[in-house]
Amino acid sequence: MHLFNRFNTKKILDVESLVKEAKSGDPNAFGALYEQYAPGIYRFTLLKTSNREDTEDLVHQTFLKAWNHVKFYEDKGASFQAWLYSIARNTIIDYYRTKKTTATLASYARNPLEEQRIFEQSESGVEFQMLKKHIAELKSTEQDALLLRYVEDLDHRTIAQMLQKSENATKVLIHRAIAKLKQKFD
């Protein structure tokens, strides 16, 4: 079967094989990795920026950096997914450094229909706005950990790899961030 046809299937792709093929310079393999991870990287980036245009630019930069450096990627306990999120996080940090502003949590839902859905799911839109405000007041690492855990649904191990912390330290970081949020709501 031709490699390109294999990537058009809906089945779960073997990331390890795709990474190996991408490392050897196969753009189709990297394209399949892009298709698999781009939605999560986009959501994560959107939550950290103020608009869709910046998000699209940053996601593009993230994957361009990944493509340029994939040949150097080695699985030393950090998954490919964690490696990509680390690149995205560093790209966002560089973006805010050059703008000389502080990273804040942007609105997750820019689509009015999505905003309406979120509003209806919460007891009130005010609570949702308060939650966004309180999350934005957390340290950047705490924000990232919460977003990766509860929006991207990543496991503690992957988040730990991305943040370059131990798994236990990551669990504690998330627990303390949640405790801070609970305290602000009390």
Q: What is the pLDDT of residue 116?
A: 53
> Dihedral, CA atoms, 143, 148, 152, 155, nearest 10 degrees?
-150
CA dist 147 and 134 (Å) reads: 13
Report yes or no on whether pTM surpasses 0.75.
no
Q: What is the pLDDT of residue 68?
A: 96
Q: Which residues of the chain have pLDDT under 70?
A: 1-13, 50, 100-126, 128
CA dist 86 and 66 (Å) reads: 10
Residue range 83-95, pLDDT digits in tens:
999 999 999 999 9
